[in-house]
Chain A
Amino acid sequence: MTVLTDTAARVEGATKVFGEGDTAVRALDDMTVAFDRGRFTAIMGPSGSGKSTLLHCVAGLDNLTEGSAYIGDVRLGDLSEKQLTLLRRKSVGFVFQAFNLIPTLRADENITLPVDIAGEHPDEEWFNIVVRTMRLEDRLSHRPSELSGGQQQRVAAARALMSRPEIVFADEPSGNLDSKATDELLQFLRRAVDEFGQTIVMVTHDPIAAAYADKVVFLADGRCVGEMTGPTVESILDHMKALGG
């Protein structure tokens, strides 16, 4: 039994079935996995392995057919829709692969979005730190259409950090970026973990991105089939070859 306070989020015996009868798909199959606080964890696996589903369920965006999901000590299945919404506002940050930003708002407004939604005032000092960390000082007044792909993702990352959530979930954040932008983004995420103790869980199929993590969790067919600490690009590639994925 791991000490609960060290786990930022986890699932226990999680099963998620889509569809019924003959067309049923078991996206998650009795999976148990925990994500350590203050760590950068990557989730990898071939398509159909359930990595996106896992992310959605542990982030409170979808519910499990069986089993439980926890953020901190809070069991997500116990929460009402309204409570889940509040949880997402305060305790969870998101970075998606694309369409992360509201096109009609400026970059700075996008960053403070969750805080504004809560009707609260953003912490100015923290805002400046985050902006500096993501190197967005001179892009703040721009609209998303005026930012490069990499800059957009950095804005999204800044937003995810702005409310100082318990955990940040990133779903293929570098999927649409070139290698340089990928490097930049992942470095910033790394810094967020190292300098601010943020917890980040990232789904990715890119070994280069996964190499930035502290630990890689491998999924296949809805189950956890392996973990690797201190990953490098080579060791990840080797492991994936061994898995056949």
Chain B
Amino acid sequence: MLKLSWKGAMAHKGRLALMMIAVVLGVGFVAGTYVFTDTAKDAFDELLQQEIGDSVIVRQEIEFSASWDVGRVPASLLPAIEELPGVDRTLPFVQGWAQLLDKQGELIGGNGPPTFAMSWAEGMEELDPTRLVEGDIPRQDGEVAIDLYSAEQNDYMVGDTIDILTIEGVEEFKIVGLAGYGDMDNFVTATAALFDVETAQRVAGFDDEYSLIYVVAEPGVDREQLQAAVAGVLPEGTEAILSEVTIDEAQEEVDEIFGIFNRVFLVFGLIAIFVASFLIQNTYRIVVAQRTKELAMLRAVGATGAQVYWVVMAEALIMGIVASAIGIGAGVLLAVGLKVLLAAFGIQFPQGSLTLLPRTIIVGLIVGTVVTVISALLPARKASRVPPVAALREIQSTFFKSLRLRAMIGLGIVAAGVTALLVGLYADLGNGLLLTGVGAGVVFVGVSVIAPFFARYFGRVAGSPLPVADGVTGRLAQENAVRKPRRTAATASALMIGVALVTVIATLGATFKGTIEETVRDEVVAEYQVQVTGFGDPLSRGLSPDLAVELRSLPEVEVAAVYRSGEWRKPGTGGEETGAGPHFASSIGYLIAVDDDMDEVMRLDVSEGDFDDLGPNGVMLHETYAEEEGLSVGDPFSIEYPSGVVGEYDVVAIYGADLFGGGAASGDLIISMETFEANYDYELDQMVIIRLADGVDAEAVRPTLEAVVDGYPNAELNNAEEYIDKVGAQLDMMLNIVTGLLGMAIIIALLGITNTLSLSIMERKREIGLLRAVGMSRAQVQRMVYWESVLIAIFGAALGLSVGLALGVAVATAVGGLSITLPWVSLAVYALAAAIGGIIAAILPAYRGSRTDLLEAIAFE
């Protein structure tokens, strides 16, 4: 039996190869994701362990954080610490924001990763992975060392001068050295400008403060005792910790970042595998139908149905295992490729060998094999039911076992999926997203079950231009596409999944863009905004406050209001550790602080209370949040700040405006600038909103405004339209990445079309032979196959677009507060792309079909 299975498999290498490719791609994606994240995590762990030296670190006590800021400690602490016995030396450290400018005056970096200004003192290399690659460390004002990557990318060498943008404006420095982090050329994608300690303080806007103080113990001194001693001289709100703690925190940070990356990519990998399972099941179904004679013969000579079942399953099992093993290898290659790709974009990781954990191998093998075996279950059962008599008679298996009944069952499945989906979206569950995903998957399965019911109608309608366009060639293609509705539907369904998902993305994208547009038009009364160029985390960059001051001084400007954002949380929602990096904890929210003339440039839509009451004791709540929390004007409200300090306030107003649609500032609450400055160290503004004086012409005054803005290289001036475009462009970029990731699923689906066509053409050998005999040219045969493929692809696209639109609207509605917009242009593009995909998928089968050996085809056995 096993030998039979082996022979059966080897006899049809082509279809075997295609099925295996699908599994390899899916498993490769999953395995590659794991290998990539495991390797990166291990590399960072190693780096941190090796390069961070033993010391005691003095820093501000921070409860939670969503930024790279590590807080402040007063410089006045230094003498007290240095006097303690056992202290060999102290090393103050400053970390803030500064941006390098290239030789043309353009900003370097700032599109995503942070840009640091840091201090560097003699002896740092023992405590921190920062290392000097070339030249010397900066020792006085006017000197700077920059990261090696920025230098190489922008043609800077030791000895050159460089302009640097800081909170004080643009300043020129001399490059005395180039630095790296561990063995990386940049600071884990961030750029760095390193100064001596005093210059760093000035440039980063630290008044008599440091970010940290490293305390190195004398040889032989017990560090824990030293830690206790240091803690004794520290004021409230500051702490002394062992350097190991920062290693732990950093490792947690790394784990979290890569954990998220992992989960996201796994989702795409699982989608690819889901599509692959459609392909495999469809292929097996077709093959079982084609090998009916062979199977019947087995039965006729005495094999039981069960034995036939196991022959099919054995083949599936073997294929699954082999394909999964290859897939794991492919995954490793994928991880390597990804590393290389990212490096080309300046995203480097510490060196290290690839980490292939047993977990990855096990998961890869299990996922690939299980999917293959499950996909073969139903076809195997069908195979076991082939009666022996089929060996002697031509049994036409066109039993039209009610497609109607099947459609009903499919409807039921869809209903179940929709229920799961809605529960996931609306019920307040922990794993709501997972349920939504599962629900969507079930909906896909259900639609694919119903699909054969529609295949014929669709073929008739969508295929009607074909006979007109291409005569009998078109007519035959139209008929062929739907003569086996189950097969066509199964093939098209694989494509449906990919198309549906990209449609969901497009719908959400269009909706977000539409909403932003509406929001901005409704709420922004001002003519211009000044914002930071590029995009990135608002907590690690911003505009110098001097900019707003300058703009305000212009006679044409009536109001120039600014806002800033910061992270907060409700007191009592704890458990999150602090860290020197962004956390994605769901308990952390964002608030906005505004100037008191903000209501003159924005329509805040205050429904209760008064904006003017904000002051140092008030907060304003967004109406949705207020409703959720059951709060109204007059109620008390507490805010826990990153430092752990809890502020008590009164709710003074409820507002409705969905402020500032981009960035992290889709806030739930607003505080006054006074309150903000008292509790945060962020000194950069996020945006300046400008309202012009009465009678001033917006166009005419623009050059004047631009002149001011030009003095700040990281600021750009936009009017409402440009602002909308800018946000739209950011959204588009993200959407394109996601759409690209879904490409894998679509490629697998197209492979499925190729597969189905190849098998169908094999079946129709006689027919094609006949057509060629009566005079159909090879080109006509090819065209026939192309048309058929295009029809199948468009069927899949039609299903996908419909389901995708429905899903997209459902998700957008669940998110709430959005004005649903449908992405008509994208839909048309996707339909066209599907048609083209169909043509490409058909190239090989069409060629093979047209080369059908005439004689072989018409010879009667």
Q: Which residues of A contact B (CB under 8 A)?
A: 56, 61-62, 81-82, 85-86, 88-90, 94, 96-105, 109, 113-114, 116-119, 159, 172
Contact = CB atoms under 8 A, between A and B. Distances in A.
29 contacts: A61-B855, A82-B777, A85-B772, A85-B775, A85-B777, A85-B778, A86-B775, A86-B777, A89-B776, A90-B775, A94-B773, A96-B773, A96-B858, A96-B860, A99-B766, A99-B767, A99-B770, A100-B770, A103-B483, A103-B767, A104-B476, A104-B483, A105-B475, A113-B774, A114-B775, A117-B771, A117-B774, A117-B775, A117-B780
Contacts of A109: 472, 475
Contacts of A98: 860
Contacts of B476: 102, 104-105
B479 A104 contact: yes
Contacts of B854: 61-62
A166 to B, nearest CB: 13
B757 to A, nearest CB: 16
B473 to A, nearest CB: 8
A56 B769 CA distance: 13
Interface string B655-681: 000000000000000000000000000
A174 B480 CA distance: 29
Given A61-B855, A109-B475, A159 B860 contact: no
Nearest to B765: A99
A38 to B, nearest CB: 22
Interface of B: 471-473, 475-476, 479-480, 483, 766-767, 770-778, 780, 854-855, 858, 860
Contacts of B773: 61, 88, 94, 96
A86 B479 CA distance: 25
Nearest to B480: A104
Nearest to B780: A117
A147 to B, nearest CB: 15
A100 B769 CA distance: 10
Contacts of A85: 772, 775-778
B479 A105 contact: yes
A27 B751 CA distance: 43
Given A98-B860, A104-B483, A116 B472 contact: yes
Given A88-B775, A103-B767, A113 B479 contact: no
A205 to B, nearest CB: 13
A89 B471 contact: no
A103 B476 CA distance: 10
B267 to A, nearest CB: 42
Most buried by B among A90, A99, A119, A159: A99
Given A56-B855, A105-B479, A114 B471 contact: no
Most buried by B among A109, A116, A159: A116
A117 B770 contact: no
Contacts of A119: 471
A88 B769 CA distance: 13
Contacts of B860: 96-99, 172
Contacts of A90: 775
A102 B767 contact: yes
Q: Closest 7 interchain pairs by CB?
A: A89-B775, A104-B479, A116-B472, A88-B775, A99-B766, A114-B774, A85-B777
B643 to A, nearest CB: 77
A118 to B, nearest CB: 7
Contacts of A97: 860
Given A109-B475, A113-B472, A102 B771 contact: yes
Contacts of B770: 96, 99-102
B42 to A, nearest CB: 59
A98 B771 CA distance: 14
Contacts of B771: 102, 113, 117
B774 A94 contact: yes
A117 B775 CA distance: 7
A118 B772 CA distance: 12
B758 to A, nearest CB: 19
B774 A89 contact: yes
Given A62-B854, A117-B775, A172-B860, 15 more contacts: A61-B858, A85-B772, A88-B775, A89-B776, A99-B767, A99-B858, A100-B770, A101-B770, A103-B767, A104-B480, A109-B472, A116-B475, A117-B471, A117-B473, A118-B775
Contacts of A99: 766-767, 770, 858, 860
Contacts of B473: 117
A88 B777 CA distance: 10
Contacts of B480: 104
Contacts of A117: 471-473, 771, 774-776, 780
Nearest to A93: B774
A104 B472 CA distance: 11
A109 B408 CA distance: 35
A226 B777 CA distance: 37
A102 B854 CA distance: 15
Nearest to A59: B773
A94 B771 CA distance: 11
A90 B776 CA distance: 11
A97 to B, nearest CB: 5
A217 B767 CA distance: 30
A131 B370 CA distance: 58
A117 B776 CA distance: 6
A72 B83 CA distance: 118
B763 to A, nearest CB: 11
A99 B770 CA distance: 8
Contacts of B855: 56, 61-62
A97 B770 CA distance: 12
A157 to B, nearest CB: 13
Contacts of B766: 99
B592 to A, nearest CB: 66
A103 B483 CA distance: 10
Contacts of A86: 775, 777
Contacts of B775: 85-86, 88-90, 114, 117-118
A56 B483 CA distance: 31
A98 B858 CA distance: 9
A18 to B, nearest CB: 11
A104 B766 CA distance: 13
Nearest to B776: A117
Most buried by B among A85, A88, A94: A85
Nearest to A81: B778
A81 B776 CA distance: 12
Contacts of A116: 471-472, 475
A96 B855 CA distance: 12
Nearest to B477: A104
A159 B475 CA distance: 18
Contacts of A100: 770
Nearest to B775: A89
Most buried by A among B471, B767, B858: B858
A96 B773 CA distance: 10
Nearest to B470: A119
Contacts of A113: 472, 771, 774
A94 B855 CA distance: 13
A61 B859 CA distance: 11
A93 to B, nearest CB: 8
A69 to B, nearest CB: 15
Nearest to A118: B775
Contacts of B483: 103-104
A106 to B, nearest CB: 10
A54 to B, nearest CB: 13
Nearest to A102: B767
A102 B770 CA distance: 8
B16 to A, nearest CB: 28
A239 to B, nearest CB: 26
Contacts of A104: 476, 479-480, 483
Nearest to B772: A85
Most buried by A among B479, B483, B770, B774: B774
Contacts of B776: 85, 89, 117
Contacts of A101: 770
B791 to A, nearest CB: 13
